[in-house]
Structure 1
Amino acid sequence: MPSLAQMTGSLHIHNFYIGKLKAKQEQLFESDPELAQLLDNVAEVLSEHAVALTDEIAEMESDD
């Protein structure tokens, strides 16, 4: 099982890439809507995983 520090680091990485994907999606919305939609879908999957990580981190912190 990953440590709390590893999970927190993973959450920060997820949030970084979610931001990057959303920014690129906004740039491409007019010129390439299909790619923009794909980027939005990937960001959504990462967001769902980030929520799960947040819940796991909160659970680990409450156990301490």
Structure 2
Amino acid sequence: MPSLAQMNGSLHIHNFYIGKLKAKQEQLFDSDPELAMLLDNVAAVLSEHAVVLTNDIAAMEDDDT
């Protein structure tokens, strides 16, 4: 199982790329709506995984106390 630091790092990376995807999606919305929708779907999958990571991190922090 990954350490708490690794999980926090992974969560940070997820959030970074979610932001990048959403920014690019906004840029492409008018010129290429299909690609914008694809980027939105990828961001949604990463967001779901980020929620799982957040819950796992909270559980690990609770176990440490």
TM > 0.5 fold call: yes
Counterpart-to-counterpart distance in 2, 1:54 and 1:17? 16
- Give the length in aligned residue pairs: 64
Structure 1 unmatched runs, 5+:
none
Counterpart-to-counterpart distance in 2, 1:3 and 1:22? 29
TM-score, scaled to structure 2: 0.98
Counterpart-to-counterpart distance in 2, 1:25 and 1:41? 10
- Quote the offset at 1:23 in angstroms: 0.2
Letter in structure 2 aligned against 1:55? N
Deviation track 1:5-49 (CA, whole Å, cap 9, x = no partner) reads 000000000000000000000000000000000000000000000
TM-score, scaled to structure 1: 1.00
Match in the other structure for 1:17: 17
Alignment partner of 1:25: what SS?
Answer: helix
Structure 2 unmatched runs, 5+:
none
Counterpart-to-counterpart distance in 2, 1:26 and 1:50? 21
Counterpart-to-counterpart distance in 1, 2:63 and 2:41? 34
